[in-house]
Structure 1
Amino acid sequence: MEDAVILYPSPAIGHLISMVELGKLILTHSPNLSIMILVTPPPYDAGSTAPYINHVSATTSSITFHNLPAVSLPPNNSPHHETLAFELLHLNNPNVLQAITSISETSTVRALIMDFFCYPGLSVAADFNLPAYFFFTSAACSLAAFLYTPVMHRTITKSFKDLDTNLDIPGVPPMPSADMPKPLLDRNDKAYEGFLNSSTHMPKSAGIIVNTFESLEPRAIKAISAGLCVPDEELTPPLYCIGPLVAANDQGDDGSSNECLTWLDLQPSRSVVFLCFGSMGLFSAEQLTEIAVGLERSGQRFVSADEVEKRVSELMDSQEGKSVRMQVSKMKASAEAAMSEGGSSRVALSKLVESWTRG
């Protein structure tokens, strides 16, 4: 039977794309592997994933998608969509078990890789004696904060929103408590419970795959690897820094992106600021107006309008901004080195794949 790795993303399109790109990266090291991706119907309208899935299926034959049945959710009054995701993925375990059972009939499953929200899948992996990994697509400093959340939950009695202090998280500069992710601000919210549970389960995995590279975040990576971010009784699993992982520019479009790229090609080098809000970024009309006005005032090509204007102008026109752009250029070179043959990220990828295939 063929060797396979199962990838299990949460429902939103951004999570699916990240898992597909991880699958493609794995195939660059082990082209004979089969990548099986479990697709969970979303509990909210996040846009159709069908065109994207069809495109990947048509262009990458080693990646196969398995659609899981829809799950009925109980009523939920949390203001955070993450609560729905955690609830859905908890109820999804029987479907995941059935999918792995079916895949195992024709393939030798080597590993299960889940994203942050899919921690209930750890128990399913244990049923099959499969090594289970988490794929964390944010920065290592964010991972450090999440891994340290159970420690803070034990030692701090108030919600983060009620604290007026900086948080001392290993590997992370002092951070105001109000800067923690919104779902974590109120410890009485169901979303907080979901994030806490996931943070508690991550150290129990066979490893954590992170979309970063060693020279970008040495402080956070060192702290995590040294076990400083988990409770004393826990062991930190191996950390595999395989980034930067960037979606390939081959996903098909309606022509508008080509028009955008043509315009970008006509602009002077390093003269355009790119604002990105993520696939679930939602803004009121007032907020969008403020952002647009700030960009227009900055005079650059294309929070308050004044702050947007100030920060964009500072980045593009000031000596400090020039220094930042030079540092970004250095990081770009470091990223290319990490992803080159023998680079730190390629070595980490090799160690990850070899951990499945040994013996």
Structure 2
Amino acid sequence: MKRTVVLYPGFGAGHIVPMAELAKVFLSHGYNVTMVIVPPPSAMGANNQVERIAAANPSISFHVLPPIPAPDFTGGSTNKHPFLLMLEMHRQYNENLESFLRSIPRRRLHSLVIDMFCVDATDVAAKLGIPVYTFVPTGASPLAVLTQLPALFASRQTGLKELGDTPLEFLGVPPMPASHLMRELLAHPEDETCKASVSIFERGMATRGVLVNTFESLESRAVQALRDPLCVPGKASPPIYCVGPLVGNDAGKGAKAERHECLSWLDAQPERSVVFLCFGSMGTFSDEQLKEMAVGLDKSGQRFLWVVRMPANIDDPMKILENHCEPDLDALLPEGFLERTKGRGLVVKSWAPQVEVLNHPATGAFVTHCGWNSMLEGVMAGVPMLCWPLYAEQKMNKVFMTQDMGVGMEIEGYMTGFVKADEVEAKVRLVLESEEGRELKARVAARKKEAEAAFEAGGSSHAAFLQFLLDVENLGEHRAE
């Protein structure tokens, strides 16, 4: 009798895609997998995204919970931060989640694996006596920082924002400028969003164990810190299982989809000659920044493939979801830019098959927003990265990528909210033309080999997953006694 693992992801591609990859690992070990989906608010534009991922993964069962009235994520009837609304929405789905879990015979139910943002589901698991584990789609380094924040807040009377760029010392990671923490954590500690953020990471570390989307050699210091009692004084550290890198393959856009035009364009470019600029599903810029970026790419003389999304105000959390319209490239980019760069540059609207692009022989560099999935995809493709973080934990990731991991270079100016054309030109040329760029490429290539070895039989991630399965089985035997 095959046992069933229930996976419970948060909203958004950055949470659903890596959990779908985790599902494939369970399937390869002989388990049935059901992904339980909370219907996303229409404002997030993610309904068809789930359908595409489900269509591309027929071996995974997808169960969409019966819908309930969703909070207004557009800001029309509430001033609540979308992050708080998302947590509230998941909390309201606990009853429907419980009903679904009860429909699975207890002897068949192996475990419940929840996204970090779905921690309220631990109440359901406790009620039903189901072993619950946390899945962290980001890495061990940001997790190490976030788990140490409660102690930092307890030692201070005020928030962290006034510290500016003052470096904070955390176990297991390089010194972290206070300004690089997530925006929600820079509010006053009594702010509702700040308190909710801290609570999530505290509760997420209180499950039976934590599965992290990383491989041990990429973040060895941070992994050791998470296992160190000093990381969270006075609390027992849960087992940490590094089971990554869990990286998709663009199949979520549909297995029968036609080959994207940009791949044919790349076919005609010399090997390792193209810089790829892509900033995630919610990464957007102002009109002025897009024009400045275009000037820099033009002046660099380098080949480029650039994904441009509709501008939106990334500084306003109530408007970050309003960027799903098709951009008008002629209106957004400098006059004559598309014509001048025709042949050596290609601009595509809204989306490109990122994994395929990164693994194409013509791609030589990746300008990224430093989202964790994108960083791992860059590592797995062996492509050096230029770091332009935008929101969430991406500024923290930039620190890890450029220091401990050695897989990226910083594009200066992101902290001011405006990167100048000269900086774009200089860094693109540096990574593609210079000795420093070649050294960066060599470091990323070495990381790629480490990542591939981690997944092989006997590799660190393969062994960690087997240990996780053994721990769950031992837990079941203990309960049966």
* Bigger mean CA deviation after superposition, 324-333 or 251-260: 251-260
The 3 A distance-change label for structure 1 pair 102 and 24 is same
Output the amino acid matched with 2:94: N
Could you tell me how far apart the structure 2 residues matched to 1:49 and 1:77 are? 24
Output the amino acid matched with 1:162: E
Could you tell me how far apart the structure 2 residues matched to 1:261 and 1:52 are? 24
Preserved CA contact (<8 Å) 1:203 1:236 = yes
The aligned residue for residue 319 of structure 1 is 435
Could you tell me how far apart the structure 2 residues matched to 1:265 and 1:357 are? 49
**Structure 2: segments with no counterpart, 5+ residues:** 305-413
1:42 deviates by 2.2
Could you tell me how far apart the structure 2 residues matched to 1:167 and 1:317 are? 35
Preserved CA contact (<8 Å) 1:161 1:178 = yes
Preserved CA contact (<8 Å) 1:114 1:121 = yes
1:324 deviates by 0.8
The 3 A distance-change label for structure 1 pair 50 and 111 is same
Report SS of the residue matched to 1:251.
helix
The 3 A distance-change label for structure 1 pair 343 and 264 is farther
Preserved CA contact (<8 Å) 2:65 2:97 = no
Report SS of the residue matched to 1:209.
strand
The 3 A distance-change label for structure 1 pair 156 and 270 is farther
The aligned residue for residue 265 of structure 2 is 263
Preserved CA contact (<8 Å) 2:36 2:64 = yes
Q: Please show how residues 10-25 of structure 1 align to structure 2 within 5 Å.
A: 10-25=10-25
Preserved CA contact (<8 Å) 1:13 1:49 = no
Q: Which one of the candidate residues 465, 468, 474 is aligned to 1:352? A: 468
- Runs of 4+ in structure 1 off by over 6 angstroms are none
The 3 A distance-change label for structure 1 pair 273 and 241 is farther
Q: Which one of the candidate residues 297, 300, 319 is aligned to 2:299? A: 297
TM-score, with structure 1 as normaliser:
0.90
Q: Is residue 121 of structure 1 aligned with residue 118 of structure 2?
A: no
Q: Please show how residues 100-139 of structure 1 align to structure 2 within 5 Å.
A: 100-104=101-105, 108-139=108-139
Q: Is residue 47 of structure 1 aligned with residue 45 of structure 2?
A: yes
The aligned residue for residue 331 of structure 1 is 447
Output the amino acid matched with 1:181: M
1:99 deviates by 1.9
The superposition leaves residues 42-63 of structure 1 with CA deviations (integer Å, 9 ceiling, x where unpaired) of 2452224336435534642343
Preserved CA contact (<8 Å) 1:7 1:36 = yes
* Bigger mean CA deviation after superposition, 145-154 or 246-255: 246-255
**Structure 1: segments with no counterpart, 5+ residues:** none
Q: Percent identity?
A: 37
Could you tell me how far apart the structure 1 residues matched to 2:27 and 2:140 are? 24
Could you tell me how far apart the structure 1 residues matched to 2:157 and 2:293 are? 37
Report SS of the residue matched to 1:275.
strand
Could you tell me how far apart the structure 1 residues matched to 2:143 and 2:172 are? 10
Preserved CA contact (<8 Å) 2:209 2:238 = yes
Could you tell me how far apart the structure 2 residues matched to 1:225 and 1:155 are? 22
* Bigger mean CA deviation after superposition, 127-136 or 171-180: 127-136
Could you tell me how far apart the structure 2 residues matched to 1:275 and 1:352 are? 37
The 3 A distance-change label for structure 1 pair 278 and 327 is same
* Bigger mean CA deviation after superposition, 203-212 or 310-319: 310-319
Could you tell me how far apart the structure 1 residues matched to 2:230 and 2:263 are? 44
The aligned residue for residue 67 of structure 1 is 65
Q: Is residue 197 of structure 1 aligned with residue 199 of structure 2?
A: yes
Q: Is residue 154 of structure 1 aligned with residue 154 of structure 2?
A: yes
Output the amino acid matched with 1:8: Y
The 3 A distance-change label for structure 1 pair 207 and 298 is farther
1:192 deviates by 1.5
Could you tell me how far apart the structure 2 residues matched to 1:294 and 1:186 are? 35
The aligned residue for residue 211 of structure 2 is 209
The aligned residue for residue 96 of structure 1 is 97
Preserved CA contact (<8 Å) 1:203 1:235 = no
Output the amino acid matched with 2:98: L
The aligned residue for residue 234 of structure 1 is 235
The 3 A distance-change label for structure 1 pair 138 and 276 is farther
1:290 deviates by 2.9
Preserved CA contact (<8 Å) 1:66 1:99 = no
1:321 deviates by 1.6
The aligned residue for residue 140 of structure 1 is 140
Q: Is residue 340 of structure 1 aligned with residue 449 of structure 2?
A: no
Output the amino acid matched with 2:213: N
The superposition leaves residues 54-83 of structure 1 with CA deviations (integer Å, 9 ceiling, x where unpaired) of 5534642343333342344385414x4322
Preserved CA contact (<8 Å) 2:40 2:47 = no
Preserved CA contact (<8 Å) 1:7 1:112 = yes
Preserved CA contact (<8 Å) 1:5 1:36 = yes
The 3 A distance-change label for structure 1 pair 266 and 238 is farther
The aligned residue for residue 170 of structure 1 is 171
Preserved CA contact (<8 Å) 1:71 1:92 = no
1:336 deviates by 0.8
Could you tell me how far apart the structure 2 residues matched to 1:62 and 1:116 are? 21
* Bigger mean CA deviation after superposition, 46-55 or 244-253: 46-55
Could you tell me how far apart the structure 2 residues matched to 1:46 and 1:239 are? 32
Could you tell me how far apart the structure 1 residues matched to 2:152 and 2:297 are? 38
Report SS of the residue matched to 1:45.
helix
**CA RMSD, Structure 1 to Structure 2 (Å):** 2.3
The superposition leaves residues 107-137 of structure 1 with CA deviations (integer Å, 9 ceiling, x where unpaired) of 7211111112111111111111112111111
The 3 A distance-change label for structure 1 pair 278 and 58 is closer
